[in-house]
Amino acid sequence: MKKLGFGLMRLPTTDPANAGAVDLEQTKRMVDLFIEKGFTYFDTAWMYCGFQSEPAVKEALVSRHPRDSFTLATKLNAGFFDTLEGRDDIFNQQLEKTGAGYFDYYLLHGIDSGSYQKFEDLDCFRWLMDKKEQGLVRSPGFSFHGDAPLLDEILTKHPELEFVQLQINYLDWDSQWIQSRACYEAAVKHNKPVIVMEPVKGGTLAQVPAQVRSLFQARSPQASPASWAIRFAAGLPGVMMVLSGMSSLAQMEDNLSYMQDFQPLTDEEKAMVFQAADMINSQIAIPCTGCSYCTEGCPQKIAIPQYFSLYNEDMREHLEEKGWTVNFNNYAQLAQTAGKAADCIACGQCEGMCPQHLPIIEHLKAVSSHFDH
C-alpha cells in the first residue's frame, strides 16, 4: 500500500459549527481522487464527525467502489459501551452503517491509563481476536494515547495484536505528554507496524508561523508546510501508514502530490523540522489537535476545538498593536449556534475524553476572558 491514509475524522462540512453536516459531494470527489491515484487506506470511527463519518463511508466509498479496491479501518471506543453485549451492538451497527461486510483493520480505540482497564475487564482483546476468527476483521490492533511504559505493558501482554496506531509528529516527538518518540520506540521494540495519526497535529503543522514558513520555503519553495510533517512521519522505519484528516479537495491534492512518489526526509531536513518545532512550541498557547472527542458529550454544546484554534491564532498576533482581530467576529459567529466558553459548567466530561490530557476547563476560562466581553 501507498503510505498515505485518508483519515475520515475531519471531513468537509456544509456548516462549520456542525461536524455532522458532512459535505457528501465534496467527500465523494475526494474519495474518487484518492482511489484514482492508487491510494487505498480509509480510517473512520464510531463517533467521528458527530457520528456521521461511518454513514458517509457507506455513501461516498462502499456503495461506489468495489470492496477489494480499498481497505477500511474503524474502531471500538470505551466511552460508548459498558457491557459485553455492548461491544457487539456497536460492531454490528458499524457493519450496517458502513455496509462494508468486514473491516480490514479494527482497533480498540484510544487506549490510555483511564480506559485500558475497561478494555481488559470487558475482555475486548479476546473479543477482537474472535472477530478475526469469524472473518469480520482482517487485522486487529489498537490506537493509543498513553505513555510509553503503558504501551510496553500492553504489547507485552497482548502480542496477538498486529499493529498499533500512535500520535507521531515532529512537534510532539520529545513531548513529555504525548511521548511520540518513546511510544514509537516501544512499538519498534515489539516489532509492531505503526500507523501514524495526527502527523500534522490537527492542522497546527499546516498553518505554521511566518518564520517557520520562511525556513521551509528557503529549502523547497513549492513544498507545503504539511508535506514536511507527513514526510517526517512516513519516513520512520516501521511506519506502515500515515493518516491525514483531509477536510478539503485542495488538502488532498497537496498530500497526493508528494506522497504519490514518496521521498523520506534527509538528515539535514530532519534537523530543519526539529528547528521548526522549537519555533512553533514557543508560540502555541493551547496544544489542541481539534479531534473533537471533547465535544460529543458536552452538555453546553461548547465548540471547544474551534475556540481554542481562534485563541491560539490571537495569541500569535501582536494584540498590543492591533487591539482587535477578526477572530472576535469568528468567535461571536460560532457562539450563535454553539455554547460560549463562558457557558462551561466545569463538569469535566471533556477532560476525561481528551487524548492530549489538556486542562480544558482552565483553558476555556482563558478563552472566555479573552473573547467574552
- Print burial letters for 27-39: b (CB count within 10 Å at least 16), e (below 16): bbebbeebbebeb
pLDDT at res. 324: 67
Could you report the per-residue pLDDT of 27-63, keeping only the tens digit for each?
999 999 999 999 999 999 999 999 999 999 999 999 9
pLDDT at res. 297: 87
Q: Kindly give the residue spans of alpha helices, DSSP state H, lying in 106-166.
A: 116-121, 124-133, 148-157
**Cβ atoms 308, 361 nearer than 8 A:** no
Neighbours of 66 (CB within 10 A): 8
Q: Kindly give the residue spans of alpha helices, DSSP state H, lying in 192-285.
A: 210-219, 225-234, 249-259, 267-281
Q: Which residues contact 71 (CB under 8 A, 6 or more apart)?
A: 1, 40, 41, 42, 104, 105
pLDDT at res. 322: 53
> How far apart are alpha carbons 102 and 72 in whole angstroms?
9
DSSP state of 317: S
The one-digit pLDDT tens for each residue of the chain (373 residues) are 899 999 999 999 999 888 899 999 999 999 999 999 999 999 999 999 999 999 999 999 999 999 999 999 999 999 999 999 999 999 999 999 999 999 999 999 999 988 999 999 999 999 999 999 999 999 999 999 999 999 999 999 999 999 999 999 999 999 877 899 999 999 999 999 999 999 998 888 998 999 999 999 999 999 999 999 999 999 999 999 999 999 999 999 999 999 999 999 999 999 999 999 999 888 888 989 989 999 988 999 999 999 998 888 788 665 555 566 778 888 988 899 999 999 999 999 999 999 988 999 999 999 999 999 7
Length of the chain: 373
361: helix, coil or strand?
helix
Could you report the per-residue pLDDT of 205-226, keeping only the tens digit for each?
998 999 999 999 999 999 999 9
**Cβ atoms 197, 143 nearer than 8 A:** yes
163: helix, coil or strand?
strand
Question: Considering the entire predicted model, what is its pTM?
Answer: 0.84
Which of 154-162's residues contact partners 24+ apart within 8 Å by CB, and which partners?
154/111, 154/116, 155/186, 155/187, 155/189, 155/190, 155/192, 156/190, 158/125, 159/190, 160/125, 160/129, 161/125, 161/128, 161/192, 162/192, 162/193
Strand partners for 143: 165
**Cβ atoms 43, 73 nearer than 8 A:** yes
pLDDT at res. 50: 93
pLDDT at res. 317: 62
Query: Where is 368: in which H helix or E strand?
Result: helix 360-371
Neighbours of 173 (CB within 10 A): 19
> How far apart are alpha carbons 224 and 177 in whole angstroms?
27
The C-alpha angle 341, 342, 346, rounded to 5 degrees, equals: 85
> How far apart are alpha carbons 164 and 176 in whole angstroms?
20
> How far apart are alpha carbons 247 and 309 in whole angstroms?
16
pLDDT at res. 31: 98
pLDDT at res. 319: 56
